[in-house]
């Protein structure tokens, strides 16, 4: 036993590198993540083991003979528009676009799906429609803010559809039944086949010509197969719907396969006849509405007339209307009293100011330099300087003086000064 222990050692195991499952899976995951070949790839196969969680996530496998590839299609990546085009279920063949990833919990590779479309015959068509949808969506052609309101009472409607078949007759019949006076402009176009795309777009452009004064357009056809409706998902036609300056109603008439033009139209009708019902108002309903409005207006006007008649009757019985002069008489008396008060005030004011004026005159007389002269005083000036002499110190002998009296002046010469 001891010999066996001595013979057996762990050197060989220790010399080899040992990996855990987690490390192996992490390494494989890094290889897959870095491999661009496994990104954005289309995989075609038969749907197998399909299921959908309560959260909306979809799980299935793509099967080919005895091989299966697990797939996950998470809700955040799902395109509702294309999911409405067909139903994913076990047994159908589809195309799935996505990235190959490794689910570490079970070590299985799976496809994380980004887009799906039906396989085989229609796969290329759906891929093209999807690419057109995403391109125009990014440009904002489907934004709700760009939708135009339909006119309440159109005078002229334009119809872009085939001149053959029941569609045009149905639209005209419904429109005329609802509003016989409606004007209709028809832009005939091919609605299926290779010529349809350009033909439909040209018809919409013609109906946008101001010469025809079209208020709203109905464009569409009477339903059809998936292939029949393809022109209404072509980019040129979708842009014609979106760029129409005149409000436009899509009337393709198919509830299963919805073409892209419905996303660009201002309104979608289930059928061409339904489009006519949406666009053209019923004249009988309009007449009833106008009668109701007329009745309401009449009642309002009559009520106002009755109110003002009553107000006039009340006014006619008032004293102001019966004897208007009598209303003014008390004011006449008041004005007379006011006038007398003003007159007395003015007289008193003038007397007061007259007395003040006499007092000022007396003061001015006393300040008049001629007044002392009248009382016998005189003013003495040096001659010829006219300098007023106030005392004898300002006079020298031989000075020539001018003596001013009240009635004149004399000149004299100083002989002698006495102090």
Same domain, residue pair 162 and 92: no
Assess if residue 392 is contained within a domain: yes
Same domain, residue pair 157 and 265: yes
Asked whether 69 and 86 are in contact (CB, 8 A), the reply is no
Q: Give the pLDDT of residue 370.
A: 73
Same domain, residue pair 104 and 152: no
Same domain, residue pair 149 and 115: no
Integer Cα distance of 167 and 29 in angstroms: 58
Same domain, residue pair 236 and 154: yes
- Report the CATH number that the domain containing residue 98 is assigned in CATH: 2.40.50.140
Same domain, residue pair 191 and 264: yes
Same domain, residue pair 202 and 268: yes
Assess if residue 388 is contained within a domain: yes
Q: Which residue bears the tokens 């870095």?
A: 34
Assess if residue 49 is contained within a domain: yes
**H or E segment and range at residue 231:** none
Integer Cα distance of 43 and 359 in angstroms: 127
Same domain, residue pair 98 and 174: no
**Would you state the structure tokens that stand for residue 137, as one six-digit string?**
């969506």
Same domain, residue pair 194 and 151: yes
Assess if residue 312 is contained within a domain: no
Query: How many residues are present in the chain?
Result: 419
Same domain, residue pair 204 and 111: no
Count of the separate structural domains present in the chain: 3
Q: Give the pLDDT of residue 303.
A: 92
Assess if residue 117 is contained within a domain: yes
Integer Cα distance of 47 and 304 in angstroms: 76
Contacts of 133 (CB under 8 A, 6+ apart): 81, 82, 260, 263
User: What is the full per-residue pLDDT of the chain (419 aa) written as tens digits?
Assistant: 444 344 444 444 555 678 889 899 999 999 999 999 899 998 988 899 999 998 889 999 999 888 999 999 998 888 776 666 667 888 888 888 899 999 988 889 999 999 887 665 566 677 788 889 999 999 999 999 999 999 999 999 999 999 987 899 999 999 999 999 999 999 999 998 889 999 999 999 999 999 999 999 999 998 888 778 889 999 999 999 999 999 999 998 765 667 999 999 999 999 999 999 999 999 888 889 989 999 999 999 999 999 998 888 887 777 666 677 777 777 778 888 889 999 999 999 999 989 999 888 888 877 777 777 777 778 888 888 888 888 888 888 888 988 888 788 888 888 887 76
DSSP E strand boundaries for 119-190: 156-161, 183-188
Rounded to 5°, the CA angle 19-24-25 comes to: 150
- Residue 385: give the domain boundaries: 372-413
């Amino acid at each position: 036993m001891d010999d066996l222990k001595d013979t057996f050692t762990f050197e060989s195991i220790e010399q080899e590198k040992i990996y855990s499952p987690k490390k192996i899976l992490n390494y494989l995951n890094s290889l897959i993540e870095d491999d661009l070949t496994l990104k954005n790839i289309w995989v075609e196969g038969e749907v197998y083991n399909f299921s959908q969680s309560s959260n909306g996530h979809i799980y299935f496998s793509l099967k080919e003979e005895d091989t299966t590839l697990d797939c996950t299609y998470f809700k955040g990546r799902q395109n509702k528009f294309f999911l409405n085009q067909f139903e994913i279920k076990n047994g159908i063949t589809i195309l799935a676009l996505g990235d190959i990833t490794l689910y570490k919990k079970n070590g299985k590779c799976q496809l994380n799906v980004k887009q799906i479309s039906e396989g085989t015959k229609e796969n290329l068509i759906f891929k093209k429609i999807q690419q057109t949808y995403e391109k125009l969506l990014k440009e904002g052609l489907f934004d709700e803010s760009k939708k135009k309101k339909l006119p309440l009472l159109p005078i002229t409607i334009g119809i872009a559809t085939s001149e053959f078949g029941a569609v045009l007759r149905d639209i005209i019949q419904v429109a005329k039944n609802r509003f016989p006076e409606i004007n209709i402009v028809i832009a005939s176009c091919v609605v299926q086949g290779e010529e349809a795309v350009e033909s439909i777009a040209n018809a919409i452009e013609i109906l946008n010509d101001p010469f025809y004064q079209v208020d709203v357009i109905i464009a569409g056809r009477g339903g059809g197969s998936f292939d029949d409706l393809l022109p209404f998902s072509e980019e040129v036609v979708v842009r014609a719907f979106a760029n129409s300056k005149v409000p436009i109603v899509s009337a393709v008439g198919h509830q299963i396969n919805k073409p892209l033009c419905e996303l660009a139209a201002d309104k979608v009708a289930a059928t061409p006849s339904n489009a006519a019902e949406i666009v053209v108002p019923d004249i009988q309903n309009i007449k009833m509405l106008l009668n109701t409005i007329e009745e309401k207006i009449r009642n309002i006007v009559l009520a106002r007339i009755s109110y003002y008649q009553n107000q006039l009757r009340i006014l006619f019985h008032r004293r102001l209307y019966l004897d208007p002069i009598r209303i003014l008489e008390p004011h006449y008396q008041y004005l007379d009293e006011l006038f007398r008060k003003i007159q007395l005030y003015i007289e008193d004011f003038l007397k007061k100011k007259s007395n003040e004026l006499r007092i000022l005159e007396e003061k001015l007389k006393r300040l008049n330099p001629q007044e002392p002269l009248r009382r016998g005083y005189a003013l003495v000036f040096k001659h010829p300087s006219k300098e007023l002499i106030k005392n004898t110190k300002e006079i020298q002998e031989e000075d020539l003086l001018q003596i001013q009296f009240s009635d004149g002046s004399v000149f004299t010469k100083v002989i002698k000064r006495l102090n």
